[in-house]
């Protein structure tokens, strides 16, 4: 064991423009989109492929089209065959996990330069046939095709939507949108607050694009010499939400309608809503417009020792000071960043109030606003003040940009280091995200002089 203790830095990175589900990037396979992110990262940093020791990729909706997608993408990106490659799955914090794993590899003495990131093409998440191959209808592919019409009614076979199945916690049996409504009910977060927060996320994202902020990290997606997507798709699809906030009111509540009421919601999920019981007149709050979009995209960053980064002439954007992952009740997964942040801050030796920039994942406005309340109540962390000052998500967040599951952590890192770079007074920053299953991840960085 050759354990090392030396500074580890982020020394470049890039991400693709993010596409909205079933639109511009839906025809591209995730391994090919990951190649785009890797090659753009190498090109922008002027990093030689021979200098790379390994690749780590977060991918949530793993299929067998690209077993160990990190390896497939690394080879297709022209990296040497000797390069190690690992694919990680930690739901929505997968690429935070990939960056952390790169740091661990470096600390263990396995290498000095890694490409770490993630990818998701939610447009290609499959419908699947679930069952044992011992079942007669599933004995072989030929039999499956022959018995195709009979499969949906076979007691030995289940036809599944992998996306909906993956977005439902198998322990608590609650989907992600419902966890957001649970938090909204627990912490008393109203719909008007959520809609206003979502509107501001769209406003900041569009302003970030217009100011040129995203030019620092985003590359267009092109095929056969033709640009397919130049900018993040969803914020421009929903651009009217900023100037016409009354549109938010037109979105129906996910859990409060003629076929499923809030009384039904409390009957099904009330066990998770701590300290609250259903009362007549309660309203549902989570809607399509105050929830993040389902998305396609890829992102990567360079994780290296400070010494090696200088030797290679790379631009050192920030030093990684510490990270932390914390679990909580899967039904409360959205507030897990409030729990992971203290761990990361303690390990980094940084106080929350001293953070100059924060990038917080926004799966739902309800969960973000719940973090504001829980963080202050339990730890004295004033997330809301950071938001009002513009230190938190100054260029918008997942509500507007979208959420390509495995790529979001690396996207947060790119936003964070470039926001710090653009802030003359900025020194320390933190990213944080929640993940299905009740996992939270946070990472603290410090801008180098």
Q: Catalytic residue numbers?
A: 92, 403, 434
Please report which residue ranges of 314-435 form alpha helices under DSSP H.
Answer: 336-348, 365-379, 383-389, 398-401, 408-422
Beta partners for residue 14, in sequence order: 300
Spatial contact of 201 and 18, defined as CB atoms under 8 Å apart: no
The CA distance from 96 to 413, in Å, is: 8
Instruction: For residue 74, give both structure tokens.
Output: 């690394």
CA distances from residue 3 to 93, 112, 269, 322, 344 in whole angstroms, order as listed: 26, 12, 47, 17, 21
Spatial contact of 83 and 74, defined as CB atoms under 8 Å apart: yes
Residue 415, C-beta contacts closer than 8 angstroms, at least 6 positions apart: 217, 359, 393, 395, 431
DSSP string, 57-91: EEESS--TTSSSHHHHHHHHTT--TT-EEEEE-BT
The CA distance from 243 to 205, in Å, is: 14
The CA distance from 69 to 86, in Å, is: 8
The CA distance from 228 to 392, in Å, is: 31
Spatial contact of 121 and 30, defined as CB atoms under 8 Å apart: yes
């Amino acid at each position: 064991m050759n354990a090392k203790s030396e500074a580890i830095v982020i020394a470049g990175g890039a991400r693709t423009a993010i596409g909205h589900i079933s639109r511009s990037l839906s025809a591209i396979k995730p391994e090919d989109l990951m190649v785009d992110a890797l090659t753009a990262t190498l090109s922008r940093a002027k990093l030689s492929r021979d200098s790379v020791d390994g690749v780590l990729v977060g991918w949530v909706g793993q299929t067998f089209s690209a077993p160990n997608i990190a390896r497939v993408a690394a080879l297709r990106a022209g990296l040497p065959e000797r390069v190690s490659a690992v694919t990680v799955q930690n739901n929505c914090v997968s690429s935070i996990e990939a960056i952390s794993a790169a740091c661990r590899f470096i600390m263990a003495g396995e290498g000095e330069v890694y490409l770490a990131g993630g990818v998701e093409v939610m447009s290609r998440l499959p419908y699947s046939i679930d069952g044992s191959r011992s079942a007669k209808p599933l004995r072989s592919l030929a039999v499956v095709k022959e018995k195709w019409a009979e499969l949906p009614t076979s007691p030995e076979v289940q036809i599944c939507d992998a996306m909906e199945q993956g977005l439902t916690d198998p322990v608590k049996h609650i989907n992600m949108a419902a966890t957001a409504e649970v938090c909204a009910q627990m912490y008393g977060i109203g719909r008007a607050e959520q809609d206003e927060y979502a509107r501001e996320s769209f406003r900041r994202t569009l302003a970030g694009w217009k100011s040129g902020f995203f030019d620092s990290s985003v590359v267009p997606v092109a095929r056969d010499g033709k640009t397919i997507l130049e900018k993040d798709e969803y914020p421009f699809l929903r651009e009217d939400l900023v100037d016409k906030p009354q549109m938010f009111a037109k979105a129906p509540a996910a859990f409060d309608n003629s076929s499923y009421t809030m009384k039904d919601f409390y009957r099904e999920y009330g066990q998770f809503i701590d300290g609250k019981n259903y009362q007549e007149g309660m309203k549902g709050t989570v809607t399509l417009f105050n929830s993040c979009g389902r998305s396609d995209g890829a992102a990567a960053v360079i994780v290296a020792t400070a010494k090696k980064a200088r030797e290679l002439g790379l631009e050192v954007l920030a030093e990684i000071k510490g990270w932390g992952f914390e679990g909580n009740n899967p039904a409360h997964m959205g507030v897990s960043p409030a729990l992971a942040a203290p761990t990361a801050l303690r390990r980094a030796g940084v106080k929350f109030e001293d953070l100059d920039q924060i990038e917080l994942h926004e799966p739902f406005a309800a969960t973000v606003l719940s973090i504001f309340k829980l963080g202050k109540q339990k730890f004295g962390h004033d997330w809301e003040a950071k938001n009002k000052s513009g230190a938190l998500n100054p260029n918008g967040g997942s509500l507007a940009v979208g959420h390509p599951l495995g790529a979001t952590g690396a996207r947060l890192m790119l936003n964070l280091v470039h926001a710090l770079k653009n802030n003359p007074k900025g020194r320390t920053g933190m990213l944080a995200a929640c993940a299905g299953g009740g996992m939270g991840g946070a990472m603290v960085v410090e801008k180098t002089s």
